[in-house]
Amino acid sequence: MHSKIVISYPLPGNAMQFLSENERENVWVNPKAAILQRSALLEQVQGAAGLVVTPGDGPINAEIFKAAGSNLKVVSCYSVGFDYVDIVEARRRAIAVGITPDATTEPTADIAWLLILGANRDLNRAYEKMRCRTWSGIAPSDQFGNRLVGKTLFVVGCGRIGSAVARRAVGWNMNLKYLARTDKPEIEKPPLFAQRVTLEQGLRQADFVSLHLPLNQATHHIIGANELAMMKESAVLINTARGGVIDEKALIAALRDKSIRAAGLDVYENEPNIDPELFELSNCLMLPHIGTATVEDRRWMTEIAMQNLLAGIEGKPLPNSIPA
């Protein structure tokens, strides 16, 4: 019998098309479009050589690896983030871990800009007027946000997604600042002319701060009360990375006190359990973690995840492995 494969969630598109007839004989796919209970996941992974998992299945740790047993060769993440996988333990057990980076870049950058535009133009308040049918027509006193053209955008984390966000800024003739471990010549040259700065420099100068960092020990709560206090009162904070890079309680306090003007969030610290205080803030534009959720890109993610899975089972290098 062929190596056992477990796919924890029914993936968009047709995941089975990437498997041979023999490989399909020993595949278990969650029949429901719902995150598995932990006990069910632990039961299903027994004897598996390869797993395809989502962030909702986390933590993927020693408990999962032990339940799977010595046959487990690869964990293929249906995501670009892998903070829910115990990488140290996976490496100790020689389990390869794959991610889906390219498919997530452009759609997530689009959502970051949706949040920049929406939070800047006070979309919550405008939508509420229409939903509640209280709009009585255009009036000179209407003021919904500020101009975007010529303002300063600070991109925190300038990998694939951060760079894609920066590229889109050219349409608004923005002054670009970025934080990265190394220089990014591709966005420093015309027409972007981006400037690499420190976190403090960028926070103090920016009108818009967009976060694009992986979540790890170094980046957990990288934006806290002290960092929020560095920002302009007119500034807008955007997060399409991982919820844990922001101290959510500190953000709530800053938004409530209007020490920053607004925030746009697609990710949350304890999602899907969102702090109820966030819903009470009219200056917080919220989306349900839809950064990668386009038809085309979710299907592309399926293809990448399956390619990683099959390579790992065969003992080959993963096409898209986690960073070294």
**Residues tagged active-site:** 242, 271, 289
Exposed, middle or buried by CB within 10 Å (0-12, 13-18, 19+), for 19? middle
Exposed, middle or buried by CB within 10 Å (0-12, 13-18, 19+), for 162? buried
Q: How far apart are CA 62 and CA 33, in angstroms?
A: 25
Through-space distance between the first and last CA atoms of the chain, rounded to whole angstroms: 33
Q: What are the Cα distances from residue 25, in Å, to 6, 69, 136, 315? A: 12, 20, 63, 20
Exposed, middle or buried by CB within 10 Å (0-12, 13-18, 19+), for 191? exposed
Give 80-105 as a DSSP string: S--TTB-HHHHHHTT-EEE--HHHHH
CB 301 within 8 A of CB 292: yes
Q: How far apart are CA 85 and CA 243, in angstroms?
A: 16
Q: Of 11, 170, 239, whose CA–CA distance to 103 is shortest?
A: 11
